[in-house]
Amino acid sequence: MKYRCVAASPEGLVQQVAVSYLRHGYWWYASGRIPRGKDAEKVDRKLVAKYGIDISERQRATRKAKGLANMQYIRHENWFLLLATEGHHPFKSQELVRDCRRHPIRFEGYSISYRRGGVTPGGGASPKWHACVRIDPTAYRELKTFLVMRAKHRQAETLIEDFRRIPFARYAPIRRQILNIHRAVNHVRRPAGFEDVPVSALKLRREIVQPFASECDNIQEVA
């Protein structure tokens, strides 16, 4: 069997985790970095074999019915992420495991969590849960400070390019964060008599990416 685990890009890793794994209950996680100079593919094989990750969908269904957890593994460059569903698994006692519903996964300036979706018409918490991808608070503050400072003395064309170069995939929460920065930028430009940065410059549509690298980067054998 071939277990795909090498993400082609940070955006690919985030997309696979948020869109495919979290929505199927892989909420418990542990992350780490492979030391420089160490063979990353050997680490992939070791972890996949250690936790029995490369199994069929039928085997996953059987484990779930028995109250056992299933796992996924994904890596980009030297950063890796192990995820597990609800149920018993040695992983949960052998690693420093967190629940992404309480502690977001932090990766390359992203904050990835699983949370309730807003409020009901009556004002209570919504019963629906969904994956939430945001810019990490620290990265967001740095980005906002940088753009607001430049807004005070840069031409609109320069700021348009700055907004277009924002590296984060445009998930809905990230679109809202970028719109907040856009409002702050125009707020400081108006008293100085500068023209507004148009909202059309924000590039708000998310592009779907291929999450995994080529087949040759997949695990060929797990033993």
Q: Is the pLDDT of residue 126 over 90?
A: no
pLDDT at 221 over 50: no
pLDDT band at 192 (very low <50, low <70, confident <90, very high): confident
Please say if the pLDDT value at position 217 is more than 60: no
Whether the predicted pLDDT of 199 surpasses 50: yes
Q: Which residue has the higher pLDDT, 218 or 32?
A: 32
Q: Are strands 79-84 and 71-76 parallel, antiparallel or unpaired?
A: antiparallel
Residue that is written with structure tokens 């890796």 in the block: 80
- Each residue's pLDDT tens digit, 91-110: 999 999 999 999 999 999 99
Residue scoring higher pLDDT (215 or 203): 203
pLDDT, averaged across the chain: 92
Q: Residue 118's pLDDT is what?
A: 57
Determine the distance from the C-alpha atom of residue 129 to the mean position of all C-alpha atoms in its chain, rounded to a whole number.
16
What's the whole-number mean pLDDT along residues 194-206?
93
- pLDDT band, residue 130 (cuts 50/70/90): very high
Cut 0.85: pTM above it: yes
Question: 46 Cβ partners below 8 Å, 6+ apart?
Answer: none
Q: Is 39 helix (H, G, I), strand (E, B) or coil?
A: coil
**Alpha-carbon span 154 to 148, nearest angstrom:** 10
